[in-house]
Chains A and B, each alone.
Chain A
Amino acid sequence: MSTIIELLVFSVPEAFVIFMLASSISRRKILLSRSIIISILFGLVTFSTGLLLGNYILNILCSCVLIVLLLKFGGSYELYDAITAGLMAISIYLAIEFINVNFLQMVTDIDPINLGDNLKLKLLWFMPQLLFARGLSFVIRYFANSKFQEQANE
Chain B
Amino acid sequence: MKTNIYKTATTFLIVQSVLMVILLNNNYMKDYGYLQSILSEWIELLLGLIILLLNLVAVVIAWRLYRSGIEAEELKTRALKYNHMLTQYQIYREHHHDLKNHLTVVLGLLTQEKFPELREYLQVYLSTVNDALLKTNSGLDELDILLSAKIQAAKRQKTEVLLTILGTILCRRKNISNLVAAIGNLLDNALEAVKELEPSQRKVTWSIRKDPIDYIFEFSNPLLLSKQTTKWDFFEEGFSTKGRDRGHGLSITRRLIKKMEGTITVDTAKGQFKVIIEIPRHKLEG
Contacts and interface: CB of A to CB of B under 8 A. Distances in A.
Q: Which of A55, A56, A60, A97 has the most CB of B within 10 A?
A: A56
A112 interface: yes
Given A83-B14, A84-B11, A113-B34, 20 more contacts: A50-B35, A53-B37, A54-B35, A55-B40, A57-B22, A57-B23, A57-B40, A57-B44, A83-B11, A87-B14, A87-B17, A88-B14, A91-B18, A94-B21, A98-B24, A98-B28, A101-B28, A102-B28, A112-B34, A113-B32
A133 interface: no
B205 interface: no
Task: Determine the main DSSP class of B at the interface with A.
Answer: helix
Nearest to B7: A80
Interface in B1-50: 7, 10-11, 14-15, 17-18, 21-26, 28-29, 32-37, 39-40, 43-44, 47
B252 interface: yes
- Which of B7, B22, B32 has the most CB atoms of chain A within a 10 A radius of its CB? B22
B247 to A, nearest CB: 15
Nearest to A85: B14
A57 B252 CA distance: 48
Interface string A65-91: 000000000000000100110011011
A154 interface: yes
Contacts of B39: 55
Nearest to A58: B43
Nearest to A80: B7
B11 A80 contact: yes
B213 to A, nearest CB: 29
A57 B22 CA distance: 6
Contact of B34 (A56, A57, A91): A56
B106 to A, nearest CB: 52
Contact of A56 (B7, B18, B36, B252): B36
Size range of the interface on A?
Answer: 20 to 34
20 contacts: A53-B37, A55-B35, A55-B40, A55-B43, A56-B29, A57-B26, A59-B35, A60-B22, A80-B11, A83-B14, A91-B17, A94-B18, A94-B24, A95-B21, A98-B28, A101-B28, A102-B28, A112-B34, A113-B34, A154-B252
A111 B31 CA distance: 11
A39 B47 CA distance: 27
Contacts of B15: 87
Q: Which 9 A-B pairs have the closest CB atoms?
A: A56-B35, A55-B37, A94-B21, A91-B18, A91-B17, A87-B14, A113-B32, A54-B37, A56-B29
Contacts of A53: 37
Given A80-B7, A90-B18, A56 B26 contact: yes
A91 B24 CA distance: 11
Given A55-B36, A56-B25, A56-B26, A87 B44 contact: no
Nearest to B15: A87
Contacts of A112: 32, 34
Nearest to B16: A91
A97 B25 CA distance: 9
Contacts of A95: 21, 24
A61 B18 CA distance: 9
A60 B47 CA distance: 12
Contacts of A98: 21, 24-25, 28
Contacts of A102: 28
Interface string B206-222: 00000000000000000
